[in-house]
Amino acid sequence: MAPGPTRIGLAGLAVMGQNLALNIAEKGFPISVYNRTTSKVDETVERAKAEGNLPVYGFHDPKSFINSIQKPRVVIMLVKAGAPVDQTINTLSAYMEKGDCIIDGGNEWYENTERREKEMTELSLLYLGMGVSGGEEGARNGPSLMPGGSFDAYKHIEDILLKVAAQVPDSGPCVTYIGKGGSGNFVKMVHNGIEYGDMQLISEAYDVLKSAGKLSNDELRAVFSEWNKGELQSFLIEITADIFGIKDDKREGHLVDKVLDKTGMKGTGKWTVQQAAELSVAAPTIASSLDARFLSGLKEERVEASRIFRSSKFDDNLTEHKVNKEKLINDVRQALFASKICSYAQGMNLIRAKSIEKGWGLKLGELARIWKGGCIIRAIFLDRIKKAYDRNPDLANLLVDPEFAKEIIERQSAWRRVVSLAINSGISTPGMSSSLAYFDTYRRERLPANLVQAQRDYFGAHTYERIDVEGSFHTEWFKIAKQSKI
């Protein structure tokens, strides 16, 4: 039992919940914990003892759990998205009073959060949907936090969040009040979409270096470690270098080579691509990373297809082709960086479009700031994104920020060389290729869309606009074409 009321409660003690509870306690806030399966409660309390006698107090029933928290009570839930969240809310809210607050820290669909916030308001309770990024390590030592919903609820817990979040020396704690409604969940969803793009681009860089450059795992480890000292310095590059260094504990060789090439997913990447389509925002890098995961799942079909197409001469190209390793490594680094700019640009444009649609007033520079630490996409490069939006909060696209434009221009040749080499060698680089196509489409004054409009008007009388005269036009293309054939 706690000596007096605790400062906050946490319900849902899977790994993320346990780690966040211990993090909160370690920062000096006594915390009550509850889980439907009571063994998890005892396990968390044991961990708290072992990790420095932290002020974590366990409860086996919801009533005594809620009653142990000081008023106005604040409870964080970390349970699986969907129905389990509604069940947990019902269980807890039965014992809560006017002005108490529930925070959902899971990866929830933003509209569910908006529905729940309305339902809670009718019960005179406050509600927040809070994205939490950083995995179990981040939850324990400092995640990036994206709370959205009731501003009053945020104020109740701000002192805790500021201490619990990752701390970045020059820019502060990785938390900010995101905005109204489901904005916190939406921002976390797009963060995950950007993460999909990042991981896909890194895997393509690996594939090109390994398949065309013939780099060994030890060489790959050295390359990624080196990259992590420069412009690509980031959590994902750092862990990638680590992965190449890990030997298999069951057999000879490196563990990475024994991992089955089928990617799992929880759904946030799919939601991001669906939202991009809904909002008419191009997000081809993120979409291609989702497609790559779908295709990776077709392992048996791919094995069969590899037999059918084994005789194609491109595979011979790979074995015969001699590349200059140093030059290839340098080119791939530049291609990866340029592709990454496109992926983040797409994510930011998506957040902005939703913010406009919903009237959330989201600050893109501030989002880049809170992603600088704690979260999975944390990277030195986010500081430059923040500065780009500081320079111009209404920036149409990251690509046209003067600094980023210069970076892309400098890397363009290397980027094209890598994509060309991959295409000519039969190595698929959907992420890098679609990033390049996005850039090439965006930078062109005139596109072949005029032909598409002409086709639409020909078969469906959809009308078209002209470049030289105002207004909408329709042409009887079919009749004119028919007459000219007579």
Annotation: binding site for substrate: 107, 133-135, 191-192, 196, 266, 293, 456, 462
Residue 103 β-bridge partners: 76, 128
Query: For residue 45, what are the contacts with CB-CB under 8 A and spacing of at least 6?
Result: 33, 56, 57, 58
Q: Given the structure tokens 């795992």, which residue do they identify?
A: 217
214 is catalytic: no
Pairing of strands 126-133, 144-149: antiparallel
Query: For residue 428, what are the contacts with CB-CB under 8 A and spacing of at least 6?
Result: 204, 207, 292, 422
How far apart are the C-alpha atoms of 204 and 425, rounded to whole Å? 13
The DSSP 8-state label assigned to residue 398 in this structure reads G
Tokens coding 482: 């028919």
Annotated binding site: 12-17, 35-37, 79-81, 107, 133-135, 191-192, 196, 266, 293, 456, 462
Catalytic residue among 108, 114, 195, 407: 195
Query: For residue 307, what are the contacts with CB-CB under 8 A and spacing of at least 6?
Result: none
Annotated binding site for NADP(+): 12-17, 35-37, 79-81, 107
Residue 127 β-bridge partners: 102
Catalytic residue among 188, 340, 354, 386: 188
Q: Alpha carbon of 65 to those of 27, 32, 108, 116, 120: distances in Å?
A: 21, 7, 24, 22, 19
How far apart are the C-alpha atoms of 406 and 259, rounded to whole Å? 39
The HSE-up count of residue 381 (CA atoms within 13 Å, CB side) is 28
188 is catalytic: yes
How far apart are the C-alpha atoms of 374 and 403, rounded to whole Å? 25
Active site residues: 188, 195
